[in-house]
Amino acid sequence: MLDILIQEEGERESGETGPCMEYLLHHKILETLYTLGKADCPPGMKQQVLSFYTKLLGRIRQPLLPHINVHRPVQKLIRLCGEVLAAPTENEEIQFLCIVCAKLKQDPYLVNFFLENKVKRADTKEAVAEGDKDDPSAPDTGQNALGATSPTSSEEPAATPGNSVPNNNSNYNLVSSLLNLTKSPDGRIVVKACEGLMLLVSLPEPAATRCLTESTELCELLTSRLASFYQALPQSMDPLDIETVESVNWGLDVYNLKEDAAIFAGKRALISFLSWLDYCDQLIKEAQKSAAVALARAVRERFFVSIMEPQLMQTSEVGILTSTALLSRIIRQVSSEALLQETVYFILGEDTAPETSAGITQVPLRHRLIEHCDHLSDEISIMTLRMFEQLLQKPSQHILQSLVLRSLEERNYAEYKPQDEREPLENGQPHDSVDLEEDPLFSDLSPDNRLSSPDWLSCSPPQHSEHAKSDGKTEVHKIVNSFLCLVPDEAKSSYQVEGTGYDTYLRDAHRQFRDYCGVCQKWDWRGHPKPFEKCNLESPFFEGHFLKVLFDRMGRILDQPYDVNLQVTSVLSKLALLPHPHLHEYLLDPYINLAPGCRSLFAVIVRVVGDLMLRIHRIPDFTPKLLLVRKRLLGMEPEGLAIDHVTLLEGVIVLEEFCKELAAIAFVKFHASASTSP
């Protein structure tokens, strides 16, 4: 029969229906085949019917689904699919369902034929004309499908996303059958069913989108399986294993149980979890916006809040370490906008109002995670800092607003005096300004690099064309040298090792800054700092919980382990790279007039250097020891006898490198703004 229909279509012009096809449609041949398939009589008939439907829809070019005598038996056959797991017809069932999904993807409006609304049908029978009663097939025609069968009517009671059982008032049998087949023990069937669901969530029909999220078990499937895979993970895992396990694409996780177990315990469970997470992420990325939001919210409520939050809030150090490493890996892997937003809201909350020191506990998880950056366990501190570093690299404005920017909006970290209230200049400078020429920390500034412009003390490198100076390069060199000369000569060791100069940071800073600018371009950040006249300078300044912990950690750089220092400076350098004028001013302007009681990154480093200069003289042979430690860190010297004060020496090396990195960032950002300014 199929060969005759294909041959007939090939012999006729496109769109013309031949007598054989007309006979098939008008005499309800497909209904008859469905009846035989449902009864599976003779045995094996269901398999043959499914195969025939699949080939008919796949090989006939003219649109068949709009015909009532096609889409009605197709809908009935869909209900038979997935009824029995591991059935002998599973392969034919999934092929049939996938060809239907493919046809709907080509013509999305056809999906309305596959939405059933029993309550709506019952309610409208009393109100419709007698003609509709006489013709019970009327609601299934193409003309009525968009109205009478649409589940978006305001008369339909709304279902909640939390329903684990489909609402009996609305049926989306195509989705239900695919969901049943995702539970098949055959992995190939599961992958095909997941592909079919991905096609359906991308359909732009509002009625189908609402029915999908409110009246099917799709949300339940995604979240329950995600939760079960997460709960199957070992309670204790090495964070390095979690970070370095190969990236997983859903449906492609070919594995060998013996090999996985030999690498590390729990690898198979971890790959299964990450694979399903990838599927959820890709499904949400492909879904229509309203469906994506509903699915992502379900993941947040039923997985993040219900399953992950208790793990992150626990007191067991082993549990905290494992769950934080998993959260970091989740952040790294999530790429869909809707799921990323819900992940961020879960971690940081949704508040964007300026932080106060009394209100830092309003979002308990956010508060706990930030506190973990300064945990007694160095491992937990490092892992949590890595998690935040991963977070800062995601394209979400809310992350930066919540963690840092909301505390800097009013620029009340700076002291502002109107022009007529400023004190007279002494030798070209305000009498209470810091004279870096007399400061012993800056005694190694060469005469050419010393400060000569009083304007430089009251502003960062010129941001406006009207403030631009002819010696713009000299201006940025002053900032660069401020950072480069922070560490005194006797505490420097990089000049004695080849290839460790300040210029080595320039290329990385340029690349990273360019990447950040690409991400931040769509956020409409102001190009210049908010004018002081428009700022609320009277409100007390609080740097924010996140910056407070980072600055506290930075202030202890001489007494902390090397790995902790590397992670703290790495997070701060990421923040310094951001092209926001207030953050740039607060982190990279050495000459900002700080308000009383406020501290900036530069001020924190100055205090560290002051402490360092007092401690240097108490350590005999400080410089040779410092050079030896640097060479050991670089692998240029073998590990030998233990060196005393090694934590301090490693801290000095990190401090010197961090100052060079900040100098490079300031240089790159200044020249980028200079090249783009009119």
Q: What are 198-252's pLDDT values in tens digits?
A: 999 999 999 999 999 998 999 999 999 999 999 999 999 999 999 998 877 887 6
Question: What is the predicted pLDDT for the residue at 67?
Answer: 87
Q: How far is CA 580 from the centre of its chain?
A: 20
19 vs 561 pLDDT, higher one? 561
CA-based torsion, 65, 67, 68, 74: positive or negative: negative
Residue 133 has pLDDT above 60, yes or no: no
What is the mean predicted confidence (pLDDT) over 270-289? 94
- Give pLDDT tens digits for 136-158: 333 333 334 333 333 333 333 33
- Torsion angle, CA of 476/481/484/490, rounded to 10 degrees? 180
Q: Note whether 163 and 296 are within 8 A (CB).
A: no
Residue 425 has pLDDT above 50, yes or no: no
Structure tokens at 527: 């190009």
What is the mean predicted confidence (pLDDT) over 664-673? 89
Question: What is the predicted pLDDT for the residue at 502?
Answer: 77
Cβ-proximal residues to 516 (8 Å cutoff; 6+ apart), any chain: 577, 578, 579
Q: How confident is the model at residue 636 (pLDDT cuts 50, 70, 90)?
A: confident
> How far is Cα 474 from Cα 492, in angstroms, rounded to an integer?
24
What's the half-sphere exposure (Cβ side, CA atoms, 13 Å) at 287? Answer: 29
Question: What is the predicted pLDDT for the residue at 421?
Answer: 54
- Give pLDDT tens digits for 528-544: 888 988 888 888 999 99
Cβ-proximal residues to 426 (8 Å cutoff; 6+ apart), any chain: none
Query: What is the percentage of the chain residues whose pLDDT exceeds 70?
Result: 81
Residue 8 has pLDDT above 80, yes or no: no
Residue type, 371: E
Question: What is the predicted pLDDT for the residue at 648?
Answer: 95
Residue 456 has pLDDT above 50, yes or no: no
Residue 253 has pLDDT above 70, yes or no: no
The residue whose two tokens read 């004060």 is: 645
What is the mean predicted confidence (pLDDT) over 172-178? 93
What is the mean predicted confidence (pLDDT) over 360-376? 96
Tell me the β-bridge partners of 406: none
Q: If you write DSSP's letter for every residue of 307-355 in order, what string do you get? A: IIHHHHH-S-HHHHHHHHHHHHHHHHH---HHHHHHHHHHHH-S--SPP
Q: How confident is the model at residue 256 (pLDDT cuts 50, 70, 90)?
A: low
Question: What is the predicted pLDDT for the residue at 537?
Answer: 83
Beta strands in 116-185 (DSSP E): 116-117, 170-171
Q: Note whether 412 and 539 are within 8 A (CB).
A: yes
The pTM assigned to this predicted structure is 0.82
Lowest-pLDDT choice from 13-27, 316-330, 395-409, 484-498: 13-27
What phi and psi, each to the nearest 5 degrees, are found at residue 430? Answer: -60, 140
Q: Note whether 335 and 398 are within 8 A (CB).
A: no
What's the half-sphere exposure (Cβ side, CA atoms, 13 Å) at 172? Answer: 28
Beta strands in 517-596 (DSSP E): none
- Give pLDDT tens digits for 427-440: 444 444 444 434 43
**Residue (of 490, 496, 485) closest to 630 by Cα position:** 496
> How far is Cα 276 from Cα 199, in angstroms, rounded to an integer?
17
Q: If you write DSSP's letter for every residue of 114-178 in order, what string do you get? A: G-EEHHHHHHHHTTS-HHHHH-TTGGGSHHHHTTTT-TT-TTSPPPPTT-SS--TTEE-HHHHHH
Question: What is the predicted pLDDT for the residue at 258?
Answer: 57
Question: What's the burial of 260, exposed, middle or buried (CB within 10 Å: 0-12/13-18/19+)?
Answer: middle
> How far is Cα 452 from Cα 543, in angstroms, rounded to an integer?
31
Question: What is the predicted pLDDT for the residue at 135?
Answer: 44
268 vs 565 pLDDT, higher one? 565
Question: What is the predicted pLDDT for the residue at 676?
Answer: 61
Question: What is the predicted pLDDT for the residue at 444?
Answer: 39
What's the half-sphere exposure (Cβ side, CA atoms, 13 Å) at 387? Answer: 31
Question: What is the predicted pLDDT for the residue at 419?
Answer: 55
Q: What is the mean pLDDT of the chain?
A: 82
Q: How confident is the model at residue 634 (pLDDT cuts 50, 70, 90)?
A: confident
Lowest-pLDDT choice from 62-66, 279-283, 499-503: 499-503
Q: Note whether 47 and 34 are within 8 A (CB).
A: no
Question: What is the predicted pLDDT for the residue at 406?
Answer: 94
Residue type, 5: L
Residue 269 has pLDDT above 50, yes or no: yes
126 vs 484 pLDDT, higher one? 484
What is the mean predicted confidence (pLDDT) over 658-677? 85
Q: How confident is the model at residue 418 (pLDDT cuts 50, 70, 90)?
A: low
Beta strands in 355-474 (DSSP E): 425-426, 429-430
Question: What is the predicted pLDDT for the residue at 604?
Answer: 97
Q: How confident is the model at residue 474 (pLDDT cuts 50, 70, 90)?
A: low
> How far is Cα 92 from Cα 252, in angstroms, rounded to an integer?
22
Furthest C-alpha separation in the chain: 106
- Give pLDDT tens digits for 26-55: 888 889 888 898 998 888 999 999 999 999
Kindly report the number of other CB atoms within 10 A of residue 652's CB atom.
Answer: 26
